[in-house]
Amino acid sequence: MKTAVEQLQNDLNSLPSLLNPRPGLGVEAPVVPPLMEVIPVATFASLLIEIAARVEVIVDAVKELETVAEFRSADDDKPKQVNQLNSLTLSNDQRKEEETIEVLQRV
């Protein structure tokens, strides 16, 4: 993404020379689009450049947070979660069995 932004910036920098060629170079003058058609494109390009710069800052901040917080992989937590779910299910089953035994004893 960074190379695309740099290429866009280079193209925008060369835009004035394309719109106003130097006389005597043997190049025909290009058709100049009306200014009202160029403004939205330039605004859009400027916004894209700004967004790309902000995203890079966010990515760097997340990477720094990852190293500072010492995040673990999601795979590391799965066995613990499965064990907790199994123990909850087991305790629920034990409760049901105890309730059944109590009901049978009353009868």
pLDDT tens figures, 37-96: 888 888 998 999 899 999 999 999 999 998 888 877 666 656 666 666 666 665 667 777
| CA–CA gap between residue 25 and residue 27 (Å, rounded) | 5
Higher pLDDT, 3 or 45: 45
| CA–CA gap between residue 65 and residue 68 (Å, rounded) | 5
Structural contact between residues 21 and 27, judged by C-beta atoms closer than 8 angstroms: yes
pLDDT at position 103? 76
pTM of the model: 0.41
